Chain A
Amino acid sequence: MFEIVIGLEVHVQLNTKTKIFCSCPTSFAHEQNTNTCPTCLALPGALPVLNIEAVRKAMSFGYAVNATVNQRSIFNRKSYFYPDSPKAYQISQFDVPIVEHGELFLDLEDDTTKRVGITRAHLEADAGKSIHEGAISKVDLNRADTPLLEIVSDPDMRSADEAVLYLKKLHSIVRYLDISDANMQEGSFRCDVNVSIRPKGQQEFGTRVEIKNINSFKFVKAAIQYEVQRQIEAYEDGYYEQEVYQETRLWDVAKGVTKSMRGKEDSADYRYFPDPDLRPVLVTDEMMEEAKKIPELPDAKVARYVDKLGIKHYDAVVICAQKEMAYYFEAMLESNIAPKTAVTWLTSELLGRLNKAGHDITESPVDAKTLGTLVSKIEDNTISGKGAKDVLDYMMESDSRDIDAIIDELGLAQVSDDSAILAIIDDVIARNQDKVAEYKSGKDKLFGFFVGQTMKASKGSANPAKVNELLKERLG
């Protein structure tokens, strides 16, 4: 009876080499307050200079989500006092963001897609970090002025699951574009959720509540579910007006609840105005053309895998969701193996083993070229599928990547030579004359017995298809 309305604001830390308004490195520094300079410390007289690399990355995001990239955008000053904000204002695009009116598509469970609008994406400077130690608070400004791209969605999501799908898609896109490390735990992909409810059929939106401080997809889901429940209960109990008002709440991981962060009356006036230290960002046609050169993105990849490679949609979505997985898959195909076989070996054999070891595809001890080569050995009958699994097991534990040597060492070479197999078959027949007689008298089931005996005598090295074929010949 209620419709859930969700919009998301995601802060993506761009992986530029230097900060957005000074030349300090963005790399992780062990020593606090060392990646700093007069500008990011906000010393008197220091001035910001825009890092064009951040602009390029924001633009490529714009093109990736089919958005408008504004040729002229503006940086504003957003005023608020906090110790980790050295200038006491954040430089952020307010009036005219660099990216507007985009969209992305969610892959729903039933293999259909759903469009989610992207209102805007704008560049801004990150704050430093506050470290609270009992009565003392410390400030580390290494992160201050790191470039952020804030991506704001339209309120198009209707469930916690859709919100998570949106985040995963967005995550996947920024990773494909290589514009961010997008690590939620480390804070380079941060998410604020806006949630409201309204009775089904009602046109106007309910009161929007913002939830901050959510650092995993799992918590996003939990936080939305909790907040929706809270709002529905308030509505049903007749306390909606009193309990649900426009505010910012925090997700309390330990308690599994959202908590009010600041009061209703305390809505901040950021006093935005154009930053006079920075000229408007003017994007040249050449920059536009350059930024349009983006890699193949998940949606296009899925379509290609399905249409050109004949892979199941579901498998394609799974593989394309993660850039590293898709690139691994494509590298496997360079060994000229059947795409469907490659899917099986990647998603069940390799991932199964990696999951057991608690590894991600990026941490796989076996690289794509090696796995592709191994699969090609099945296809050219050098080894059996089972033999290949043994080789993979072996490689998971050892450093050797010489597949031929491993096959030799494990004695897995498959015999496809007719005369060699026939010799074994003849031997098996000679030793089992009684069974031959039974078979010939009509006990067809015994065929499996002869296959088994032959395979056993070959120590598994005989090509099973050949064994079948030759046995049929011999047994008549």
Chain B
Amino acid sequence: MITLKEALTKSKEELAEIKTEIEKLARESELNAYIGFESSGEGVPILIKDNIQVTDWPVTSGSKILQGYIAPYDATAITNLKKNGMMAFGRANMDEFAMGSTTESSYYGITKNPHDLNRVPGGSSGGSAAAVAGGIAIAALGSDTGGSIRQPAAYCGCVGFKPTYGMVSRYGLAAYASSLDQIGPITQNVEDAAILYDAISGHDPKDSTSAEHERVSIAANLDGNRKLRIAVIDNYIEAASEAIQKAYAETVKALESAGHTIVHKNMQNTKYDIATYYIVATAEAATNLARFDGVRYGRRAEGSNLSELYYNTRSEGFGEEVKRRILLGNFVLSSGYYDAYYLKAQKVRHLIRDEFGAIFDDVDLILSPVAPSVAPIIGSIHDPLDMYKSDMYTIAINLAGLPALSLPVGKDEETGMPIGLQLIGRAFDEQKVFDGAYSLEQTINYKN
């Protein structure tokens, strides 16, 4: 597939042809990455995760409860895309309300991994990553609350970037966990990710949590020759599979050979990451999803009175995982449990942020696995806790609000599945993350 960088040089007519070709391929594809072929705007077609609002599109967050809903406005990220020579084309499949790590919980069915149709593409932005890796999208937008861009990018062998919290407006992103969510690019290479990130990033007065930091073009300043101090967290890697550990070790060598300095560090609080994340995220989610009540829009189930209407609408409209997280969120916020769970999680969140801060006093970047294993077989995860555990390398980055880029570094010899690693940066230091990733990409020369 043509890269985003190259596509941006094409004429209107050429782009029309490319778009027609993409639609044809996508409709024929077995991946089930696209769940709609809507178009909005003009320019290079970008695939949009189904939780990002585009005017006049059905935007459903992969849920039954939003069937029939038509978005009446553009997310700020979409407005920004359109200003930068791109258009929104097609809706990407996702885990319902971005709650999942496999894209198995979508109302529209399972999306498959282009490297092995028996395996999941990861999630929740599985449709976006599968389409880019599978050659049926030039680039895509995803959203990342606990790894939902980086992990599917790693499973599918493409590049995924989660920006610093606040750098991309959340206005128009159906909220899962407001203090963690960020929209970001999923692309074929690092430079495309920089281009797409540059396009969507910007301060937005419609989002009170939007960062006012000045935006300088990352793509224009991309520098693969910059020498960086990169930390490896030795006690972090042990939980990963042998294949991941091997790829990690080789990547460390590659970084050294490219002239970067490797620094060995340990982290103490990692064992609290998952608990903290699932308290904060579900508390916010329980309230963010309370608006789906069948009263104003979306799918309404009948009921003979108001509470029945609520009960039936939400019982029928939400899937299992969403219900589980809503229940969990309401539990941790309920009186008598608030201090023990929610308040404590907020404190731990500060500790996690501080620990990253201490490491970044000494280094420019941290190298970390994205997931403890390669993409699992479809249907192989039965215990939700196993799925939550697979987020162990990604969620702390959201809790700390840091930028991180996942890129493919190799393949598992046994399964042939791609392995991705992430480079994590200081808050608002996206340039170093991209520079380091660009350098690593050139050194490793991964081929899909």
Contacts and interface: CB of A to CB of B under 8 A. Distances in A.
Contacts of A41: 296
Interface residues of A, number: 29
Nearest to B52: A45
Interface in B264-292: 283-284, 286-287, 290-291
A50 B207 CA distance: 10
Given A77-B287, A79-B287, A86 B296 contact: yes
Interface in A106-142: 137, 139
B29 interface: no
A273 B297 contact: no
Interface string B174-217: 11011100000000000000000000000001111100000000
Contacts of A271: 286-287, 330, 333-335, 338
| Smallest CB-CB A-B distances: 7 pairs | A88-B290, A44-B174, A276-B179, A271-B333, A276-B178, A45-B172, A42-B291
B306 A45 contact: no
B48 interface: no
Chain A contact residues: helix, strand, loop or mixed: loop
B208 A269 contact: no
Contact of A86 (B72, B291, B310, B333): B291
Contact of B291 (A49, A50, A88, A276): A88
A236 B92 CA distance: 70
B399 to A, nearest CB: 12
B290 A45 contact: no
A83 B295 contact: yes
A45 B173 contact: yes
B61 interface: yes
Interface of B: 51-53, 59, 61, 66, 69, 71-73, 75, 170-175, 177-179, 205-209, 283-284, 286-287, 290-291, 293, 295-297, 306, 310, 330, 333-335, 338, 342
B290 A81 contact: yes
A269 B334 contact: yes
A79 B330 CA distance: 10
A87 interface: yes
Interface of A: 38, 41-50, 77, 79, 81, 83, 86-89, 137, 139, 269, 271-273, 276-279
Given A44-B51, A44-B69, A279-B208, 12 more contacts: A43-B297, A44-B53, A45-B53, A45-B170, A45-B171, A46-B172, A47-B170, A47-B208, A79-B286, A86-B296, A272-B338, A276-B178
Contacts of A139: 295-296
B293 A278 contact: no
9 contacts: A44-B59, A49-B205, A81-B293, A86-B291, A88-B287, A139-B295, A269-B335, A277-B175, A279-B209
Contacts of B286: 79, 271
Contacts of A86: 291, 295-296
Contacts of A89: 287, 290
A46 to B, nearest CB: 7
Contact of B72 (A42, A43, A81): A43
Contacts of B53: 43-45
Interface centre among A41, A48, A79 (most CB of B within 10 A): A79
B313 to A, nearest CB: 11
A135 to B, nearest CB: 10
A89 B289 CA distance: 10
A124 B297 CA distance: 25
A273 B66 contact: no
Nearest to B63: A44
Contact of B206 (A49, A77, A137): A49
B208 A50 contact: yes
A236 B174 CA distance: 57
A456 B172 CA distance: 84
Nearest to B178: A276
Contacts of B51: 44-45
Contacts of B284: 276
A416 to B, nearest CB: 70
A44 B209 contact: no
Contacts of B310: 81
Contacts of A50: 208
Nearest to A137: B306
A143 B225 CA distance: 58
Nearest to A89: B287
B290 A87 contact: yes
A77 to B, nearest CB: 5
Contacts of A272: 333, 338
Contacts of A49: 205-208
B179 A87 contact: no
A273 B338 contact: yes
Interface centre among B51, B171, B291, B310 (most CB of A within 10 A): B291
A273 B178 contact: no
Interface centre among A48, A50, A81, A278 (most CB of B within 10 A): A81
Nearest to A22: B206
B307 to A, nearest CB: 8
A134 B174 CA distance: 35
Nearest to A279: B208
A183 to B, nearest CB: 28
Given A86-B296, A89-B290, A47 B330 contact: no
Contact of A38 (B73, B205, B208, B342): B73
Contacts of A269: 334-335
Nearest to A80: B290
B208 A278 contact: yes
Contacts of A277: 175, 178, 208-209
Contacts of B175: 44-45, 277
A271 B343 CA distance: 12
Interface centre among A48, A269, A273 (most CB of B within 10 A): A273
A272 B178 CA distance: 16
Given A41-B296, A87-B291, A271-B333, A46 B171 contact: yes
Contacts of B179: 276
A79 B61 contact: no
Contacts of B172: 45-46
A266 to B, nearest CB: 12
B92 to A, nearest CB: 16
B138 to A, nearest CB: 24
A93 to B, nearest CB: 15
Contacts of A43: 53, 71-73, 297
